[in-house]
Structure 1
Amino acid sequence: MSNRPGKLLFAGLMGLALAFPFGISPSYGSTVKSSSQLIALKFPQANTDRGQTATSGGGGVRQTSGGSCLTKANLPFQLLIPGDYNQGSGFHNTANKETFIYAYVPPQSEVTAKVQLADPITKAQNQTTFAVSKEGGIVRFPVTLPDNAIKDDFYNVTLTLICDANNAADNLTVELTVNYTPLAPSPTKPDSSLAKAAFYAEQGLWLDALNALAAIAKEEPEEWQEFLESGGFKTWAEAPVVECCQMVKTSASAN
C-alpha cells in the first residue's frame, strides 16, 4: 500500500477494496496453442452481452454529460470495460504504467479527445488532447501513469470526446479510476501477445489483457472477438480496431 499521506484514510472513506477480484477464472487451454488455433480466452461467463452503455461500463465508471453525436448512432459509443468485475470496488487495476482505455467511437466528421489523469491525493494532473480518426471503430486512448507511481497508487481518469467545440454541453465525458497493481514476475515469462493476454486475464487484469490482444487483433480476430464477447461486448466485437491518436497538445498542473 502506498505510504502517501492520507491515502489510507481517503481509500477507507471511499469504501473501495483494493484487491484482485475473486472467482475470475478465464477459460483457456492449459497450453497456449499456435497462433492458428483458438484458445478461447475469456473473462467470466457471467459477463454475457447485455447491450451495455457507457454508464454501465464497469465499477467506478460514470458518464457525466452529453455526447448525443456519439450515443445516438446506429452503433453507439461504448467504453469497453465490463460492468461486473473487480467486485464493484470502483478501481480498474493495471499492472503497467503505460496503459490504454478502449472505447468504440462511431464514425463522425470530427472528434477531439481529451484524456485527463489526476492524482486525488496530491491534486497533480495532466491532460493530453488527441485528434480521433473519423472512420470510427474501437479506439485505444493512451493513459500514462507517473514514473514515480508505486503499488496501489490510484488515479482518476477523465475521457472527454468533443464533437462540437462550440457546444460544450454535448461533449461526452466518462470518468473512472485506475489502480496501479504491478505484478511479481510470472514463473514463466509470456513469450507472445496471446500468452500475455492469458496471463493477465488469469490475474483479473482486463485492461492489460485487452491491450495484449489488441496488438494481434487483426491477426487473431476470433480471439479478440471472443474476449470482448466474454466481457459483455458482443454488439461491438466485430468493429474494426483503429489507430489512435495524433497528439495535439499536452499540459500538466499541480496544486
Structure 2
Amino acid sequence: MLNSQQLIYLITIGLFLIGTQPTIAQSIANIPTRTIRSKLQRIIFKPPANQGKPKSTSSAGSRHDLQCPQDAKSTTTPSNQTPLMSLVPSDSNYGLTTAEHPTFLVYLPQTSAKQLVLSFVKEDNQLHSQTLIPIKGEPGIISIKSADSSPPLEVGKNYQWVLVLTCGEKPSPNDPVITSWVRRVVLPQLQSQQRTTLEQADIYSEQGIWYDALITLAQIRNTQPNNQAIADIWTDFLKSVGLEAIATQPLRL
C-alpha cells in the first residue's frame, strides 16, 4: 500500500515521464537595492499561527539518499558535504508567501546532475505545475521558482513543493527528492512610507511571511558579500529557525 509521500512522488515523476513539458525557470526578479542605512541589527523570524497549516508537513529523504549514486561513488565529491535541502524552518517545513510565483532557496551540494524538477502539488494530490530548472552543480545556496507562465498559487491554499534532483538524462524513481510546503497569503495593509529592503525583510519576518523575508535578505546578502553587519543579520535570521549550519554557505543567486 503506497503512503501519501510515495503517491505524490509517483504523480510528479509519472506526469513528467508521460509527456509533461516543463518550462525553463525564469531568473528571479531583482529586488530593488536601495542604500541600506537602517538601524536594524537583528532580524528574528516570528512563526505565524498554525491556522490553515496542513496536518503533516514532514519532508522526504534522508542524508544517505539525497545525492546521486554517481556522486556518492566519486572520489572528487566530499564525503561529509551537506546534503540537498530546502531553506525552510526546521521545526515546521512550512512557510508563507505573498507571491503568485514564489522564489525558494535550496542548498545544492556538489553534484554531476544537470537539472532539477520543481513540482507543486495541491492538498488533494493533484499536480498544479511543473518546471525544469537547469543547474551547474556547484555547491551553494541557489534560488528556484516556477515559470511565470505556470498557474499562480491561489491565496489561502496550501501546496507541497517537490524538488527532484535528476541524476540521469531524465527523472527516475531513485532520484533524490525533497518536499516542503507553502501557503500564499495577503500581507496586511501597512502604512505607506519609504523603506529600505532590509526594513521590508524585517516586516515580512514580523508578519511570519517566511519565503518573502528569506529571499529579500538573501538578495541583500548577495549584493553586499563583504558587509559584516549584513552577514551577521543573515546568520541570526537563519539561526532563528534552525538553519545556522548553512549560514556560511555561498549564495549563487
- The bucket for the TM-score relative to the shorter chain is 0.5 to 0.7
Amino acid in the other structure paired with 1:43: F
Report the equivalent of 2:109: 106
Amino acid in the other structure paired with 1:116: S
Judging changes above 3 Å, is the alpha-carbon distance between structure 1 residues 146 and 74 closer, same or farther for their aligned structure 2 residues? same
Counterpart pick for 1:60 among 49, 57, 62? 57
Q: Deviations over 1:133-185 (max 9, x none)?
A: 222200111146734x5431222311111233478354111223321111232
- Preserved contact between residue 67 and residue 84 of structure 2 (Cα < 8 Å): no
Alpha-carbon distance in structure 2 between the residues aligned to 1:73 and 1:182: 41
Quote the offset at 1:43 in angstroms: 2.2
Report the equivalent of 1:159: 163
Count of aligned pairs between the two proteins: 193
Judging changes above 3 Å, is the alpha-carbon distance between structure 1 residues 165 and 61 closer, same or farther for their aligned structure 2 residues? farther
Any gaps of 5 or more consecutive residues in structure 1?
1-32, 46-58, 244-255
Any gaps of 5 or more consecutive residues in structure 2?
1-34, 48-55, 73-78, 225-229
**1:51-200 alignment, distance < 5 Å:** 60-64=57-61, 66-69=65-68, 73-85=80-92, 91-120=94-123, 123-143=126-146, 146-147=151-152, 149-165=153-169, 168-189=172-193, 191-200=195-204
Report SS of the residue matched to 2:96: strand
- Preserved contact between residue 77 and residue 106 of structure 1 (Cα < 8 Å): yes
Alpha-carbon distance in structure 1 between the residues aligned to 2:244 and 2:125: 39
- Preserved contact between residue 88 and residue 180 of structure 2 (Cα < 8 Å): no
- Preserved contact between residue 41 and residue 223 of structure 1 (Cα < 8 Å): yes
| Alpha-carbon RMSD | 3.1
Alpha-carbon distance in structure 1 between the residues aligned to 2:168 and 2:125: 32
Alpha-carbon distance in structure 2 between the residues aligned to 1:95 and 1:155: 13
* % identical aligned pairs: 23
Alpha-carbon distance in structure 2 between the residues aligned to 1:139 and 1:207: 14
Report SS of the residue matched to 1:216: helix
Higher strand share: 1
Amino acid in the other structure paired with 1:226: D
